[in-house]
Chains A and B, each alone.
Chain A
Amino acid sequence: AQSVSQHNHHVILSEAASLELGCNYSYGGTVNLFWYVQYPGQHLQLLLKYFSGDPLVKGIKGFEAEFIKSKFSFNLRKPSVQWSDTAEYFCAGRGRNSGYALNFGKGTSLLVTP
């Protein structure tokens, strides 16, 4: 099971800037890590997930994340953000209980300005 922490709570970027949101996890057995996004007024949806294999994971809408075991990190990246990427982003790790619930970070609010 992993608990996760997100470094940045509020990020403001201009369109076309590169994005990197930090997420660190605590070691706890099998690693299952996720990034979810919540656009204004919409439900949480999965961006990408890591279970094993290639540490560079590609998700929807041009997002990717890199699992770096030595740094206990799973940072989310996008080379060029758009105004439509304005949203709240949550990193999550598999919880400790048997129900496969997720432990979520506190979230990062991203505002992309035109």
Chain B
Amino acid sequence: DVKVTQSSRYLVKRTGEKVFLECVQDMDHENMFWYRQDPGLGLRLIYFSYDVKMKEKGDIPEGYSVSREKKERFSLILESASTNQTSMYLCASSFSGLAYEQYFGPGTRLTVT
């Protein structure tokens, strides 16, 4: 079974704090993704990575950065958390290629106060 794990299920941070969300996959997938899930908006892509140290912006990258130093690990960084970043964050991974679906982690519910 593919396993995508995320470092925390729930996180509460204060405005202005630097926040790290970590994701690890165990299937040697090339691609990794960070999405944000908000009610009524579905999932929106923040960033993705197709190889170690390679990254591309998604649809809503503002206020976020990412890091991929090892193939199995993909980190999302909120440089200075704001209340409008309160959301559910989902990590996903997949093999490279159109035929492959994405596997999702359980999500991190982040609250910024």
Contacts and interface: CB of A to CB of B under 8 A. Distances in A.
Interface of A: 9, 30, 32, 34, 36, 42-46, 49, 51, 90, 92, 94-95, 97-102, 104-107
Contacts of B44: 104
Of all A-B residue pairs in the complex, the 7 with the closest CB atoms, nearest first, are: A44-B104, A99-B48, A104-B43, A106-B42, A104-B42, A43-B106, A43-B104
Interface bracket on B: 20 to 34
Nearest to B4: A43
Contact of A90 (B42, B45, B48, B49): B42
A37 to B, nearest CB: 11
A8 to B, nearest CB: 13
A44 B41 contact: no
A32 B98 contact: yes
B98 A101 contact: no
A27 to B, nearest CB: 16
Majority SS of interface residues in chain B? strand
B107 A99 contact: no
B41 A106 contact: yes
A51 B98 contact: yes
Nearest to A36: B104
A1 to B, nearest CB: 11
B101 interface: yes
Given A9-B40, A43-B106, A51 B99 contact: yes
A99 B42 contact: no
Contact of A99 (B43, B50, B104): B50
A98 B94 contact: no
Given A97-B56, A97-B58, A101-B58, A90 B101 contact: no
